[in-house]
């Protein structure tokens, strides 16, 4: 059974700092991996999607990497801003089931 | 586009009552997903539809839960009878063929007393 784990559960950093969020998954048979952002009381917004054949994707100050063989992904946020404060969720689509399996998320606070 | 629309946004009900959650997917999207989010279990897929047909309902917790999609622009998730452990945020998401990105609605926050 696919399990997705995110570390740390919570992170607080000063504005301007570069940071890395970690995601690991137990079954490397994935179709793709996605990073989402969730603001309090709101739905999820897709940030980046990495196909299983890809190593990384970039969007603005965000860079996501994927190492399928080791079951790991990282989300790198450069020059963090208070507006980046949110919960970041990692999810994989299992090749076997086609379902999106989510991690528990990392709650990020960027202090001005 | 208005995005995925869910109603109600908040629902407070008493144990034993029937609860109906509603979702309108993004126009043109042909896949619809219902998720439940709790502190203990995180975000879990309950059921998903493709072209209005339920494809996988293995995530539906028990027979008290049912979901329908009578047409391409409307879906319901019903809980009857509701129990306090059903308290959670229920999200609906939709996706179009050929895209792997799901677009989430704002969620319905359900509290069963």
Whether the upstream peptide bond of residue A8 has omega within 30° of 0, thus cis, is: yes
Q: For residue A96, what pLDDT band results from cuts at 50, 70 and 90?
A: confident
Contacts with B, A 50-109, CB within 8 Å: 89, 91, 93, 97-100, 102-105
Nearest-by-CA chain B residue for A44: B104
Q: Looking at the complex, report in whole angstroms how far the Cα of residue B94 sits from the nearest Cα belonging to chain A.
A: 12
Looking at per-residue pLDDT, the higher value among A43 and A17 belongs to A17
Q: How far apart are CA B2 and CA B26, in angstroms?
A: 7
Could you report the per-residue pLDDT of A37-89, keeping only the tens digit for each? 999 888 899 999 999 999 999 999 999 999 999 999 999 999 999 999 999 99
Q: How far apart are CA A31 and CA A95, in angstroms?
A: 5
Whether the upstream peptide bond of residue B81 has omega within 30° of 0, thus cis, is: yes
Q: What share of chain A is helix, strand, coil (3-state, %, to 5)?
A: 5, 60, 40
Asked if residues A30 and A92 have their Cβ atoms less than 8 Å apart, the reply is: yes
Which DSSP category does A103 fall into? -
Q: Looking at the complex, report in whole angstroms how far the Cα of residue B107 sits from the nearest Cα belonging to chain A.
A: 6
Question: What sections of chain B are H helices per DSSP?
Answer: none
For testing contact with chain A, the best of B24, B39, B100, B110 (most A CBs within 10 A): B100
Annotate B46-78 with b (16+ C-beta within 10 A) or e (fewer): bbbbeeeebebeebbeeeebebebeebbebebe
List of chain B residues whose C-beta atoms are within 8 Å of the C-beta of residue A97: 56
Could you report the per-residue pLDDT of B7-65, keeping only the tens digit for each? 999 999 999 999 999 999 999 999 999 999 998 889 999 999 999 999 989 889 889 99
Q: What is the pLDDT of residue B62?
A: 85
Q: Over 80: is that where the pLDDT of A98 sits? A: no
Could you report the per-residue pLDDT of B53-106, keeping only the tens digit for each? 999 898 898 899 999 999 999 999 999 999 999 999 999 999 998 788 899 999
Nearest-by-CA chain B residue for A51: B100
For chain A, say whether B74 makes contact (Cβ under 8 Å). no
């Amino acid at each position: 059974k696919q399990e997705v784990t995110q570390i740390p559960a919570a992170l607080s950093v000063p504005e301007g700092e570069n940071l890395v969020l970690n995601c690991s998954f137990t079954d490397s048979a994935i179709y793709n991996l996605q990073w989402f952002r969730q603001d309090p009381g709101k739905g999820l917004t897709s940030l980046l999607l990495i196909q299983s054949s890809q190593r990384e994707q970039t969007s603005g100050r965000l860079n996501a990497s994927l190492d399928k063989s080791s079951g790991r992904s990282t989300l790198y946020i450069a020059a963090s801003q208070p507006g980046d404060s949110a919960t970041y969720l990692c999810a994989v689509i299992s090749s076997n089931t086609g379902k999106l399996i989510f991690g528990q998320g990392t709650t990020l606070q960027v202090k001005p | 586009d208005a995005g995925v629309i869910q109603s109600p946004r908040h629902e407070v009900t008493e144990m034993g009552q029937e609860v109906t959650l509603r979702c309108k997917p993004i126009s043109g999207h042909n896949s619809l997903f219902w998720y439940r989010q709790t502190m203990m279990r995180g975000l879990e897929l309950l059921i998903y539809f493709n072209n209005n047909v339920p494809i996988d309902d293995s995530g539906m917790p028990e027979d008290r839960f049912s979901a329908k999609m009578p047409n391409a622009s409307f879906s319901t998730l019903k809980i009857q009878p509701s129990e306090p452990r059903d308290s959670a945020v229920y999200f609906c998401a939709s996706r179009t063929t050929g895209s792997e990105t799901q677009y989430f609605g704002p969620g319905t926050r359900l509290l069963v007393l």
